[in-house]
Amino acid sequence: MENLIIRTEEILDSKILDYYVETKYDEKILNQLESSVPCLLVGSRGVGKSFLFRVMRQRLTDHFGLEHILPVMVTFRNATLLETDNVEKIQMWMLSKITTEIIRAFKKAGIITSRGTFLHGTNSVEDEGSYLEEICSQFENSWRTNSSYIPENFPTIDNLLYAVEDICVANNISRVIVNIDEAAHVFIPAQQRQFFTMFRDLRSPYLKCNAAIYPGTTCFGDSFQPMHDAVFLHINRDIQDENYISFMKETVTRQLEDSTKIQQLMSYGNNFTLLAYAASGNPRLLFTTLSLVDKINAENTNRVFREFYRERIWSEHSSLAEKFPTCRTLIDWGRDFIENVALPELKEKNDKYIKGDKPTAISIWMNRDAPQSIKEAMRLLEYTGIVSENATGIRATRDKIGTRYIVNIGCLMSLEPTPTSTGMNIVKRISIKRMSEYGDNSLHYSSLSDAINLEKFNTNQFLVDQLEKSIDLLELTSWQKEKLHSVSIDTIGNLVAATEDEVMKAYYVGNVRARQMKNSAFAAVFEYLLG
């Protein structure tokens, strides 16, 4: 099916609202994005983060005369221009980009006008707009020069906030909302930490920021506190929602101008429904799979499952190792675990359940005391959409508590010999409560060593600095810290490098406490492992 637009950037502003299919879920997210509270929009690739930003921008633009809220879109690109060891330059580059887009938005709204014109010459009148442009110019010049000297009167974030406030007050604007797309993806982790420090500070009664991030691969740094500095909005479309299929259908048909194509789509309704479920709530996956074939007849649909959900989606996950080479072990383990353990187990169970006319399973559960490295591997799987975190604090067998993940249904269905014949049997009777459970010491974790060899990371100065910090900075009890010191585990690096057995040499420390201590250390360094 040709000409489906897969990426949001390719949709014209004039069409964006035509393509938007309103749901209560999305409206709730949009209301939060339009509020005065900074939001982090979290979702794997293709779920619709950029799309919702664009919808929000278009709506606020259309209603600017009534609501006086000015939307601004920023997408970070060309991050490779930056010198990664100079944190001030990184911040200047980000601020320059944000300020440039704020100025463009003010111009598009007619609030400020072009400075140099044929009719008026260079406008020498000092006004709020010229002050903001002067700040932008200084940010711009700062990151472009080779000098690291920053003069005394150099503008700060506060100056930017004051400049925006002056313009808003003078023009009766309620607030400016800056939506930052690809907020972390293009940055190396060191730059991400700088970004979130800036994100936290870019806030005033007249300006706030939203940012779109991926789960699992975002580094917040130490000064940004996720619980306090932003509201997290997770985009997870529930395939069990009664309106899910109609939503996906509408999302596709709105792009099809040709009624013949719509007719054709509807004539293969069952196969479309199957592919919609296989996409697991991710519109881009659905568009991508539909664009692979002309007609979604049985033969083509089964081919999609074979070629896309059994091969291509996995190679995309494995290619993550090129972006995060230090996490190759985690990435490979994650693929191996889901592809060769979790999915076959679910299929085997479902075959029995279906025969016995019982509910089927699409979720796995992991004990909250599983090694941190395992949890980080699962988060990397979330990034590529292989799994999605469904809920935390879920009770399983023997009253243990853990996290429930839903696997990509397309990957699960691809194990069927003929998905078009049997795939709907799985989907029609899903029970989220049926889970394949993996305890705190599952045998499947053993291939991912609990002791990480840190020698290969000694060129990463950020990581080295983090590892040299004392364990006293970790979120452990005084007693736990005392026990670690008693066995000469004094730094975070010592604790990460030690095995659980070595930690258990401390008096009265069993395997549960050893696991907790190691998890704390690993959580503190994981984002630095990314780079």
Partner 1 sequence: MDCTELYLGTQKQLQENVRVSLESGYMSEIASSQSFIDDYNTWVEWISIKYNNALFLLALSEYETSIVFCLQSLYKQAFTGIRSCLEHSLFGIQLSTNLYQFLQWKNGNYDACWSKITDQESGLFSKPYISAFCPDMCTLSNIVGVSTRNLYRECSEFVHGNYNIAFSYTEEFKYNEGNLLIFFDKLKNLRYILEFSLFVRFQNEFDSKDISKFEPQLVEYLGHLHEINDFLSISDKGE
Interface positions with partner 1 (CB under 8 A): 7, 9-12, 61, 64-65, 75, 77-81, 100-101, 104, 107-110, 113-119, 144, 186
Nearer to partner 1, 100 or 253 (CB): 100
Q: For 226, which DSSP code?
A: H
Tokens 């000694």 label which residue? 458
Nearer to partner 1, 170 or 473 (CB): 170
Tokens 């604790």 label which residue? 495
The least distance separating partner 1 from the CB of residue 237, rounded to whole angstroms, comes to 25
351 near 470, Cβ under 8 Å? no
Question: Distance (Å, rounded) from C-alpha 485 to C-alpha 471?
Answer: 9
Nearer to partner 1, 187 or 337 (CB): 187
> Rg of the chain over CA atoms, in angstroms?
26
Nearer to partner 1, 74 or 275 (CB): 74
User: In the numeric block, which tokens belong to residue 198?
Assistant: 């800036």
Nearer to partner 1, 57 or 481 (CB): 57
How many Cβ atoms are within 10 Å of 217's Cβ, its own excluded?
Answer: 23
Nearer to partner 1, 213 or 381 (CB): 213
Beta strands in 105-150 (DSSP E): 116-117, 121-122
- Report the DSSP pairing between strands 401-407 and 363-367: antiparallel
Nearer to partner 1, 121 or 417 (CB): 121
The least distance separating partner 1 from the CB of residue 36, rounded to whole angstroms, comes to 24
Helices (H), 43-188: 49-62, 64-67, 87-108, 128-144, 157-170
The least distance separating partner 1 from the CB of residue 116, rounded to whole angstroms, comes to 6
Nearer to partner 1, 70 or 489 (CB): 70
379 near 215, Cβ under 8 Å? yes
Tell which residue, 527, 521, 380, has the closest CA to residue 460.
527
How many Cβ atoms are within 10 Å of 27's Cβ, its own excluded?
Answer: 10
The least distance separating partner 1 from the CB of residue 279, rounded to whole angstroms, comes to 21
Q: For 312, which DSSP code?
A: I
Nearer to partner 1, 102 or 290 (CB): 102
Beta strands in 182-238 (DSSP E): 207-213, 231-234
Helices (H), 319-442: 320-323, 328-337, 343-355, 372-383, 409-413, 419-427
Tell which residue, 84, 83, 80, has the closest CA to residue 531.
84
Tell which residue, 410, 421, 521, has the closest CA to residue 476.
521
Tell which residue, 462, 15, 441, 384, has the closest CA to residue 185.
384
The least distance separating partner 1 from the CB of residue 353, rounded to whole angstroms, comes to 44
Task: Give the DSSP H or E segment for 440.
Answer: none
Q: In degrees rounded to 5, what are phi and psi of residue 179? A: -95, 120
The least distance separating partner 1 from the CB of residue 75, rounded to whole angstroms, comes to 7
Nearer to partner 1, 50 or 519 (CB): 50
Question: Distance (Å, rounded) from C-alpha 208 to C-alpha 200?
Answer: 9
Nearer to partner 1, 92 or 498 (CB): 92
Q: Which residue type, as a one-letter code, is found at position 439?
A: G
The least distance separating partner 1 from the CB of residue 167, rounded to whole angstroms, comes to 14
Task: Give the DSSP H or E segment for 17.
Answer: helix 13-19
Nearer to partner 1, 179 or 236 (CB): 179
Question: Distance (Å, rounded) from C-alpha 309 to C-alpha 305?
Answer: 5
The least distance separating partner 1 from the CB of residue 196, rounded to whole angstroms, comes to 20
The least distance separating partner 1 from the CB of residue 98, rounded to whole angstroms, comes to 11
The least distance separating partner 1 from the CB of residue 67, rounded to whole angstroms, comes to 14
The least distance separating partner 1 from the CB of residue 115, rounded to whole angstroms, comes to 7
The least distance separating partner 1 from the CB of residue 104, rounded to whole angstroms, comes to 6
457 near 326, Cβ under 8 Å? yes
Nearer to partner 1, 112 or 524 (CB): 112
User: In the numeric block, which tokens belong to residue 266?
Assistant: 């509807």
Tell which residue, 111, 109, 133, has the closest CA to residue 122.
133
The least distance separating partner 1 from the CB of residue 205, rounded to whole angstroms, comes to 25
